[in-house]
Structure 1
Amino acid sequence: MKKYNITAADYDAILESQGGKCANQFCGTRDVGDSFSVDHDHSCCPENARSCGACIRGLLCSRCNLGIGLFDDSIESLKGIISYLEKWSVRQTS
């Protein structure tokens, strides 16, 4: 947790504030030990290999964290994927 400039107590407090679940409200994955990844805004501290700690967004399960990372935190890219999935969902139900 040194990499994110938080303590184990900070991690526990964040997890408690999330109800013991992934910060993605649509996911619902529950914590099993220290299994969640610390999600932070990568644009906050680009010159450092470490986070300042102020840019922590929450704790995510590995699937949600990986998904965001694969899309480089791009809201537009994720909206595009949602649009794509909605298009195919409508086609299949018509």
Structure 2
Amino acid sequence: MSETELQTCTQCNQPLPKPEFHRSDRGGRFRKCRSCRAATRKAWRETYRDKQSVYRRRFKLSRYGLTESEYDFMLAAQGGVCAMCGETCVSGRQLAVDHDHATGVVRGLLCVKCNRQLGIFEVLRPAAEEYLSDYGAGNPHISHGEALRKQRDAPRPRRSAATSKLTEGDVAQMRARYAAGGVTQRGLAAEYGVSQNAVGLILRRATWDHVA
């Protein structure tokens, strides 16, 4: 039979091409078209939403060998909060069942954040413990900030960002010329390409004071 032949949907009564009908396990095609089947499934989900939620919860708990009453008992024993951080789940979701991935033993109920972080910790735990054993007291190959303290305590020349393009020779020459007279701060600023205020700071040794 050609795929271009038509088939009438038993729900919408529309004659449609055969590809508009899903294939069945028996080798034929379903009697309802794709759109009608999708609408039927959607209507069923909306009608039995609560029942589906119950079924999903039971199925998830069964993976850990738990019943709903056991889960509720654990939750009440924890005061309704995460066993690690003592908070409710920020996402609004149910607390997750935490279990030992090696043995399958259920340990407690955790929020999504703690459950995820604990899983990462367990994977990294051997390497983390070895690292802290070797470097917990500090890295033996560095001076633990001694070089930084010396650098911080050492006198540093005061320079202005506005005059960073000047050299020490420029600064010395600028001061000598101004002391000799015949040139203004405005003139020096224009000549060296800096502001008049920057020139004044240099001349008063508020900046570049390390230059003799």
TM-score range, shorter chain: 0.5 to 0.7
Q: Give me the whole-angstrom Cα distance separating, in 1, the residues matched to 2:81 and 2:128.
A: 22
Unaligned residue ranges in structure 2 (runs of 5+): 1-60, 133-137, 139-212
Structure 1 residues 57 and 34, CA gap change in structure 2 (3 angstroms): same
Candidates 41, 60, 69, aligned match of 2:110: 60
Query: Whose radius of gyration is greater, 1 or 2?
Result: 2
Unaligned residue ranges in structure 1 (runs of 5+): 45-50, 82-86, 88-94
1:14 is the counterpart of 2:74: yes
Q: Cα offset for 1:69?
A: 1.2
Q: Cα offset for 1:75?
A: 4.2
Aligned partner of 2:122 in structure 1 is: 72
Q: CA offsets, 1:43-64, max 9 Å, x none?
A: 11xxxxxx4xxx1100000000
**Alignment check: 8 A CA contact 2:82 2:111 kept:** yes
Q: Give me the whole-angstrom Cα distance separating, in 2, the residues matched to 1:10 and 1:35.
A: 14
Q: Give me the whole-angstrom Cα distance separating, in 1, the residues matched to 2:63 and 2:73.
A: 17
Q: Give me the whole-angstrom Cα distance separating, in 2, the residues matched to 1:31 and 1:78.
A: 27
Q: Give me the whole-angstrom Cα distance separating, in 2, the residues matched to 1:78 and 1:15.
A: 31
Q: Give me the whole-angstrom Cα distance separating, in 2, the residues matched to 1:59 and 1:74.
A: 21
Structure 1 residues 23 and 74, CA gap change in structure 2 (3 angstroms): farther
Q: What TM-score, normalized to structure 1?
A: 0.60
Percentage of pairs with the same residue: 39
Aligned partner of 2:98 in structure 1 is: 39
Q: Give me the whole-angstrom Cα distance separating, in 2, the residues matched to 1:30 and 1:57.
A: 17
Q: Cα offset for 1:70?
A: 1.9
Q: Name the one with the larger helix percent.
A: 2
3-state SS of paired residue (2:88): coil
Q: Cα offset for 1:76?
A: 4.5
**Alignment check: 8 A CA contact 1:20 1:31 kept:** no
3-state SS of paired residue (2:122): coil
1:2 is the counterpart of 2:62: yes
Structure 1 residues 40 and 75, CA gap change in structure 2 (3 angstroms): same
Aligned residues: 72
